[in-house]
Amino acid sequence: MEVLNYTDLRKNLASHLDHVANEHELLIISRGEGKHVVLLSLDDYNALQETVHLLGSGTNASRLKQAMEEMDKGAYEKHDLQD
């Protein structure tokens, strides 16, 4: 994670945007009076939104946790994909 002020961001905007998009790293843009902003790629934003949705229901979050615990214990079946 990198922190830049607004002026430094403007100087190399394209390269900073490419870095955020390609490396999936957050960029914090510091601005006057503590009004800071976080820049992240659309892919990362969508992944966060999906996680919020999946964990938004207590029942679903519990089921996902249970499934991950079963995977860790090797309690699963492997299937080939259908053509």
**H-state helical runs in the chain:** 6-11, 13-23, 42-55, 58-72
How high is the pLDDT of residue 34? Answer: 80
How high is the pLDDT of residue 13? Answer: 96
Terminal Cα-to-Cα distance of the chain (whole angstroms): 41
Whole-structure pTM value: 0.69
DSSP 38-57: EE--HHHHHHHHHHHHHHSS
pLDDT band at 16 (very low <50, low <70, confident <90, very high): very high
How high is the pLDDT of residue 66? Answer: 92
Q: Are 29 and 5 in contact (CB under 8 A)?
A: yes
Strands 2-5 and 37-39: unpaired
Q: Which fold has domain 2-40?
A: YefM-like fold (3.40.1620)
pLDDT in tens, 24-80: 999 999 988 888 999 999 999 999 999 999 888 889 889 999 999 999 998 888 889
